Amino acid sequence: MVVLAAVTAGGLAGCRVQKRPAPPYPAVEWQGAAPSGPLESDPWVQATRKFLEAEAVARNINDFSIPELVQSASRDARSRAARPALDDVKQKRRPDILPGPTPFLPLSVTPNFRGDPDRAAVRGCKATEWSSEQGDVPTELKGYGVEYRMERLPDGTMRVETSVGIPDLECSDVTLPMALFVPAPEPSDVTDVKDIVIAERADIDPPGK
């Protein structure tokens, strides 16, 4: 959240923007065994999971500038992550929160995506209706197809660049691994869009992005 503090310099009053300190980054506890499929050791899948975790934390605190998200998502992906909160507040609702990283089951990894060795595509099934105003854990998980398009930066950082839905990917019978945050997130107290910290360009972002 961003708050404004009055300051006085040389007899002139002004405003200074202050960002509320982020709460401690939560732990993640798998419900049952942690996923151990053959794709879980792939670095692109691991980068995708880091993004899903950081995205959920950012949405829970409405701060899309946190280092964990910057390290795991492009500026475009960070901006997209903020849209649900902005839409909720514009509709006079408190932003939804997520009880943990959005459940995801990877089904394939395509390295050298479109002929670029620094790109990859991770396809899989992602949970629907995972967020809510109270952060309740759904009694049943349903998935839909998604493809995360990944980038590797010059320093080796692997991030989600963007994502697209894959409607013809079969997800009706998959079991989605689920993890929860500890401690559980608190319902949001944000009621104004100015209290949502949007994604600004970071030093790690490539020029022009």
Going residue by residue through the chain, which has 209 residues, state the pLDDT in tens, using 9 for 90 and above. 444 443 334 443 433 345 667 789 999 999 999 999 999 999 999 999 999 999 999 999 999 999 999 999 999 999 999 999 999 999 999 999 999 999 999 999 999 999 999 999 999 999 999 999 999 999 999 999 999 999 999 999 999 999 999 999 999 999 999 999 999 999 999 999 999 999 999 999 998 77
CB 122 within 8 A of CB 104: no
* pLDDT score recorded for residue 1: 44
* pLDDT score recorded for residue 13: 40
| Torsion angle, alpha carbons of 44, 57, 24, 46, to 10 | -10
Helix 43-61 and helix 75-90: axis angle, to 10°? Answer: 30
How many other C-beta atoms lie within 10 A of the C-beta of residue 95? 24
Alpha carbon distances (Å) from 47 to 9, 88, 141, 152: 46, 28, 23, 10
Helix boundaries (H) for the chain:
43-61, 67-72, 75-90
* pLDDT score recorded for residue 15: 36
Q: How far apart are CA 178 and CA 196, in angstroms?
A: 27
DSSP 61-87: HTBTT-HHHHHHB-HHHHHHHHHHHHH
pTM here is 0.89
- Phi/psi for 129 (5° steps) reads 50, 45
Domains along the sequence of the chain with CATH:
2-6+33-194 (3.10.450)
The DSSP bridge pattern shows strands 143-152 and 119-127 to be antiparallel
* pLDDT score recorded for residue 18: 55
